[in-house]
Amino acid sequence: MPLLYARIILNINIMAYLFRKKFVLVLCGILMSAVFVEVFLRLGGTIYSAVQESANKTARGESGAIRILCLGESTTAGINAYPKYLEEILNSRNTGVRFSVINKGEIGMDSGYILENLEDNIAKYAPHIITVMMGINDKEDTREYNTSATKAGFLQSLRIYKLVKFIIMHVKSRKLFSALKPGPDRLYAGTGPADSVGHEKKPAEDVSRDKDDYRSYIKLGVFYREHADAEKSIEVFKKAVKADPGKPEGYKQLSLSYNLVGKHEAAKKALLDAFANKAEDVTIYEELGEYYWKQKDTKRAERTYLEAIGRFPNEYRLYQRLSLLYEEEGNPALAGKYSMRAEALLPKNYDASDVTRKNYTRLREIVLGKKIKLLCIQYPLRSVSGLKDMMGAGMGEIYVDNEGIFRNAVREGGYFEYFKDVFAGDFGHCTEKGHRLLAGNIADTVINGCIDKRQD
């Protein structure tokens, strides 16, 4: 008996050892695969940004040129954004020196991300001058730049993490979209011959009765639009509206998708349908007012915003938009009146959230500490005093004021001549003309305040 017991124990130990060995091998295989995928994805991301980086590499390699590094988010990013025109304008001036402009603006980034990458960008591009325009994307979850904040965001920074989220969303979207396949009178869960051999059919009325499906339709429609399939997103948003005609989000998203494919009348109809079904909220008013404004029907745009203010008197964005509209129409008295009302309703720390201030001032310390000239650019149409107040006592940084030059341009040429949208409430993403105007103003500041103190 003791011998038999000993053999049993020995066999158990051997099996446990083999299991642990297999487990370790499988775990190592998974980790190695994850590392390979991460490297592959990062390589793909590098290739994706090759166009902008190619221009940056050329700029970095220009011998004897003054290198300007532009930092920011979507208001700076892109091959046709202000950094491109800044280089053209500076080199067209008779300054006797060459300028190379490097664009490191990235869409959707906040001040924490910009600061986290600052040291690497300085080491890579060795700039003489840095321009920065940031803060509009900062939210409650924006990280203050420090070591622990960087570590806390490690998982979210991995490309494989983002890929897994994308795959999960894609799988969910395939399952949901299978319910949208058209049938004679209703929508079915499957397609093809398999339907006749046991696949349960899911009628459209069942979808509309499920309160969670409305949100699923919205998420799915946004997913398709973000992945370059606006036509399919339109089909899905129509289902969202049908599932719950009393909610405004479906109409708004449907309108956005119609605009994306150039169907502007259909976009307007989607917004008017929201009113017809008593589903309007402040965003429906904003979108409808912007539609009329872009069509140069400023009277209707004005009436839309005023009606919205009557219903939503505490929404500061409505006052901002109306102020811009009056600015364009050359009515400074009304523009100032509604601008002051907007300012009175703004959430506390709107322009100078604590984390934005800390990140901005930390960026200033790093840049000036390396003897690099720093240009802090205020967003178009906003007062530079807000940025200066946020930064506190100056340390040698230079500010670029874009309020007056853009207000004059809007009065003369119209708001949408210089901006594509009104995403920030009091300004938007620039058109080519807007980017050129912005670049010209920054160029003046560079020439007047920087080139005589360039670093060799």
At 115, give phi and psi (nearest 5°). Answer: -70, -35
Coil/strand/helix, residue 456: coil
Fold of 171-272: 1.25.40
284-294 mean pLDDT: 94
Is residue 133 very low, low, confident or very high in pLDDT (cuts 50, 70, 90)? Answer: very high
Q: How far is 212 from 443, CA to CA, in rounded Å?
A: 52
Checking if the pLDDT of 111 tops 90, the result is yes
Q: How far is CA 271 from CA 47, 214, 243, 289, 423, in A?
A: 40, 18, 17, 10, 18
Q: How far is 452 from 333, CA to CA, in rounded Å?
A: 41
At 398, give phi and psi (nearest 5°). Answer: -115, 135
Per DSSP, helices labelled H in 329-381 are: 332-345, 354-369
pLDDT tens-digit series, residues 320-360 = 999 999 999 999 999 999 999 998 887 653 444 788 999 99
233-244 mean pLDDT: 93
Output the pLDDT for position 223.
87
Domain ranges of the chain: 50-142+353-453, 171-272, 281-352
Of 7-21, 214-228, 436-450, the range with the highest mean pLDDT is: 436-450
- Residues 372/127, Cβ–Cβ less than 8 Å: yes
Are both 50-142+353-453 and 281-352 of the same fold? Answer: no
Output the pLDDT for position 405.
96
Beta strand spans in 151-192 (E)? 181-182, 187-188
Express the helix, strand and coil content of the chain in percent, nearest 5 each. Answer: 65, 5, 30
**Average pLDDT in the chain:** 81
Q: How far is 424 from 203, CA to CA, in rounded Å?
A: 41
pLDDT tens-digit series, residues 157-201 = 566 655 565 455 445 444 444 444 433 332 323 333 333 333 333
Q: How far is 196 from 212, CA to CA, in rounded Å?
A: 28
109-131 mean pLDDT: 95
Is residue 47 very low, low, confident or very high in pLDDT (cuts 50, 70, 90)? Answer: low
Output the pLDDT for position 54.
54
Of 37-51, 137-151, 199-213, the range with the highest mean pLDDT is: 137-151
116-128 mean pLDDT: 96
Tokens encoding 181:
């396949």
CATH code, 281-352: 1.25.40.10
Checking if the pLDDT of 66 tops 80, the result is yes
Is residue 94 very low, low, confident or very high in pLDDT (cuts 50, 70, 90)? Answer: confident
Output the pLDDT for position 191.
30
Give the list of residues 6+ apart from residue 145 with CB closer than 8 angstroms, or none: 112, 115, 116, 358, 359, 362
Output the pLDDT for position 3.
63
Q: How far is 78 from 106, CA to CA, in rounded Å?
A: 8
CATH code, 50-142+353-453: 3.40.50.1110
Give percent of the chain with pLDDT exceeding 90.
56
